Structure 1
């Protein structure tokens, strides 16, 4: 059980997160372990590496998904329309140089989930955001290390509970050693689920049961909520339980936005549009259970992505979340009172179902979560034009 609330700290938005993390990185004297889906060589990424290099910790390890080798600044770097994008080329080279600088100083970098031939495994990503420092401090949440991610509304939890930190450190090391397995631990008023992308449905069955057990209210925050969550949650309004969905008005994924607004409206959800881009993911059930972590509550999380999920039942954590996140965000939202396009909704639904089919095929033919340790030569650098 989390005995003291100073062992759990909610950090809302990048300034609060970076202030705490920078101090923790620089004070580390034993080990720093960082796992992110994206880690880019812009100002944000470089300041993280600089803080790591300033630390006296002899062990510095980074796990970053192969996604970063192909997507930077939300752009597929090999798409023809970006061949003349000099800023993007510069960022790609800076990312390579950033990791090389850490390696030259004794750090280690590994890339998870190679995409395979013809990008066949591209949808199967490690979506975890996990930081462990000196086996004393851990962070979980939604932030990646890039300028555009730091500009988005998001949150992280800083944890100092020894048992939780040790549990999360063990997961990092399992991934580092290419032995990632699903894992679960119950710490009393905080329960953790670590998903390996191959058996996620069993864990999400537990989560869906919790969400659908709401008797008074369900608040869910996500930019990318999709099936099977929407269909499962649609039963709540039918029995008189309000579902309030907070999702960004400035969504960076248009296909998901078109599907979500259409699906949520026809499911009877109270849709609130956040002013700007929010990357936050959370669900509050009856003001009793708070679900947070890296999952977007979407079909990719459900089917194939590696995730970190935590369920808090501690009343102080939940009240802090209400005061620092839910109430301010509701005040910044506007009700979606328009009419979602059924045509765009259906078309988007079809596209997302096709991606799901690819994800299931990829999972069937992928026998292991291979770790790609090749750093030099990452990524294939676009030539100067």
Structure 2
């Protein structure tokens, strides 16, 4: 399957859970036929229970609902929580659930990291926001800063067809000799309210999202802003950022200054000297953890989605982004990012970058060789075909009782 640029869409930027959750819940409440929902994390907290409530109500009024959760990110939902949905007819699947080893989860890599909702063929949501209270500012200093989009128009059909094609037993996996790389889709008739749905998988679309970033950086003439939570990209993307800055493009990078995982900042800091000496402006977002995955170029190009710019997202995880060609949307996102840069970011200078010692130089050489070769290396990592495990509805009480209590004519197996 390959998607194309679609014209005539209505695209709304949604910032954080305060804007995202009411929009999603309202759309589910208005569904007429079908809801498909994918997410990496669904927690059994106030937000998770609110989603549970709207899905349950929709299922009880006859709406067909399919849910796909990641087996690592959403592994702790209770049986009671899940059974209420499956009992109402919700098709509930886990992507690659695997047993724990000594109490620890073993399914660390090749995760289903997409965050997509499709309602009928009329409205869709794409972004980086999970279903947990961490995405609401009332959560406190650890609340995440994040983005998604609500879209209506022809692009919704592309997203719906992508979802339908990826349901179990719909599309057989390609063998390695059948795989082919896709070029970044050209927008041959640029205009307003255009959108392109792109994704990353471990089959034929392994670097589609990265290719669109690379093409954007090559075509930029005035300004690029990249705000990305987990920034440790491949050498090609770093090289493209440096080249854009050197030819006079204002390249701004917003990364975490108050990270949810300390290793995130350590990794990004190793790249500071390389970026700063090339003229890239680096900003650390200090208000709270940054979880966004957005970017814009000049006055028309933008992207919002689930893909970080790190080895997991670029080489292992299942991801999805929307590429947007729309001046109004671009301006909305630009105003938002310029606002957080002015209010909540500290610009990184040479004094904040790692000192130029022999040790740091050696680390830098290792890092850059790793980044240069990681995409090829990861293809040799042990891999398996992930399972989609469907959760069955709970057995009716009378059947469950018959299974538990042997009758006079039954034989109890040792």
TM-score range, shorter chain: 0.7 to 0.9
- Maintained 8 Å contact 1:265/1:271: no
Q: What CA deviation, in whole Å up to 9, does each residue of 1:104-136 have, x standing for no partner?
A: 211111011345897775210111110011221
Looking at structure 1, the residues matched to 369 and 44 of structure 2 have their Cα atoms a distance apart, in angstroms, of: 31
Q: 1:116/1:299 Cα in 2 relative to 1: closer, same or farther (>3 Å)?
A: farther
Decide which moves more: 338-347 or 165-174: 338-347
Say whether residues 1:360 and 2:379 are aligned partners: yes
Say whether residues 1:339 and 2:345 are aligned partners: no
Q: 1:359/1:373 Cα in 2 relative to 1: closer, same or farther (>3 Å)?
A: farther
Partner of 1:61: 66
Partner of 2:162: 171
Deviation at 1:280, TM superposition (A): 0.8
Q: Which has the larger radius of gyration?
A: 2
- Maintained 8 Å contact 1:40/1:95: no
- Maintained 8 Å contact 1:171/1:180: no
**Higher helix proportion (structure 1 or 2):** 1
Match of 1:234 among 242, 266, 273: 242
Q: Helix, strand or coil for the counterpart of 1:361?
A: coil
Partner of 1:373: 390
Partner of 1:311: 323
Partner of 1:158: 150
Deviation at 1:264, TM superposition (A): 3.0
Looking at structure 2, the residues matched to 291 and 180 of structure 1 have their Cα atoms a distance apart, in angstroms, of: 29
Looking at structure 2, the residues matched to 153 and 227 of structure 1 have their Cα atoms a distance apart, in angstroms, of: 21
Q: Helix, strand or coil for the counterpart of 2:380?
A: helix
Say whether residues 1:250 and 2:253 are aligned partners: no
Partner of 1:329: 340
Partner of 1:81: none
Unaligned 5+ residue runs, structure 1? Answer: 71-91, 378-385
Q: Helix, strand or coil for the counterpart of 2:32?
A: coil
Partner of 1:18: 21
Looking at structure 2, the residues matched to 152 and 57 of structure 1 have their Cα atoms a distance apart, in angstroms, of: 35
Q: 1:292/1:26 Cα in 2 relative to 1: closer, same or farther (>3 Å)?
A: same
Superposed, which structure 2 residues align to 1:7-86 within 5 Å? Answer: 7-55=10-58, 56-69=61-74
Deviation at 1:202, TM superposition (A): 5.1
Match of 1:285 among 297, 316, 324: 297
Partner of 1:193: 198
Q: 1:290/1:277 Cα in 2 relative to 1: closer, same or farther (>3 Å)?
A: same
Looking at structure 2, the residues matched to 165 and 180 of structure 1 have their Cα atoms a distance apart, in angstroms, of: 24
Q: What CA deviation, in whole Å up to 9, does each residue of 1:233-281 have, x standing for no partner?
A: 2222333323211122111122221121230343122111222112111
Looking at structure 1, the residues matched to 370 and 150 of structure 2 have their Cα atoms a distance apart, in angstroms, of: 34
- Maintained 8 Å contact 2:158/2:197: no
- Maintained 8 Å contact 1:40/1:145: yes
- Maintained 8 Å contact 2:311/2:374: no
Q: 1:369/1:212 Cα in 2 relative to 1: closer, same or farther (>3 Å)?
A: farther
Partner of 1:223: 229
Q: What CA deviation, in whole Å up to 9, does each residue of 1:132-171 have, x standing for no partner?
A: 112211000110111224431111111111x211111122
Looking at structure 2, the residues matched to 218 and 96 of structure 1 have their Cα atoms a distance apart, in angstroms, of: 46
- Maintained 8 Å contact 1:230/1:264: no
Looking at structure 2, the residues matched to 36 and 191 of structure 1 have their Cα atoms a distance apart, in angstroms, of: 20
Q: 1:352/1:34 Cα in 2 relative to 1: closer, same or farther (>3 Å)?
A: farther
Partner of 2:93: 110
Deviation at 1:372, TM superposition (A): 2.0
Q: Helix, strand or coil for the counterpart of 2:284?
A: strand
- Maintained 8 Å contact 2:200/2:207: no
Unaligned 5+ residue runs, structure 2? Answer: 1-5, 137-142, 174-180, 395-414
- Maintained 8 Å contact 1:176/1:371: no
Looking at structure 2, the residues matched to 263 and 279 of structure 1 have their Cα atoms a distance apart, in angstroms, of: 19
Deviation at 1:66, TM superposition (A): 1.0
Looking at structure 1, the residues matched to 123 and 172 of structure 2 have their Cα atoms a distance apart, in angstroms, of: 21
Partner of 2:140: none
Looking at structure 1, the residues matched to 348 and 163 of structure 2 have their Cα atoms a distance apart, in angstroms, of: 40
Count of paired positions: 349
- Maintained 8 Å contact 2:56/2:88: yes
Q: TM-score, normalised by structure 1?
A: 0.80
